[in-house]
A = this chain, B = another copy of it.
Amino acid sequence: MLNATTASLPLAHEVLAAVLQVRQESLQVLLWERGMEPHAHRWSLPGGRLRADEDVESSIRRQLAEKVDVRQVSHVEQLAVFSAPDRVPGPRVIATAFLCLVPSHMDPELPDDTAWHPVESLPHTAFDHGAIVLRARNRLRAKLSYTNIGFALAPPAFTISALRELYSAALGYRVSATNLQRVLARRGLLAPTGETSRPGRAGGRPAAQFRFADTSMAVTDPFAVLRPPGERR
């Protein structure tokens, strides 16, 4: 089946996280500035080598803890493997990349070398990390439409217009608050908290607060078509 002399070379495995959060009305990613070669002064994704006793998801959760409080990470999912033989200089390293989300009300303390950057205007990135960030953004955008993943971007309670801001920032285009409300309500994702939030100085009707009915990811539109007989959304 395989020729051990040519086929099997030991190599290293790393895990990388594209940690996304909506900050200042734009979708941003957590990057740290490399101090040393290779690619010194370029910005790279948090992560590092996989240890012998952990799977990739445990590993990325452990390594993220060096940058942000793990309790502030609301969602973690595998994104893809990046495996081009020359993706990093020197000995070969395969990377498993993750998409991680932080809700908008969190503002984790960051190490000095670490900062948030808008996904739409990334700084000079190291290795293939820029491509990984864009892939993560695309995955998030797709899932906002057919899952309840918005819960991972939002605070525990929020107004519809605040939620609209989050969706608009993540999707990159204006979303209507009216229709967002109706889509999420029809799918049973929104539950009213009963609270309202005070209007700003300019006045206006107080906004009702909502929360997401579930706080783990679920597919809410599983069959765009070709639904099994008898199943209703």
Contact = CB atoms under 8 A, between A and B. Distances in A.
A199 interface: no
A106 interface: no
Which of A6, A54, A174, A224 has the largest number of chain B CB atoms within 10 A? Answer: A224
Number of copies: 2
Interface residues of A, number: 51
A19 to B, nearest CB: 16
Interface of A: 1-2, 6-13, 48-57, 66, 78, 80-81, 83-85, 92, 94, 96, 142, 144-146, 167, 171, 173-175, 180, 183, 219, 221-229
Given A52-B85, A173-B228, A222-B142, A11 B8 contact: no
A53 B81 CA distance: 16
Given A2-B48, A145-B224, A145-B226, A54 B85 contact: yes
Contact of A81 (B10, B49, B56, B145): B56
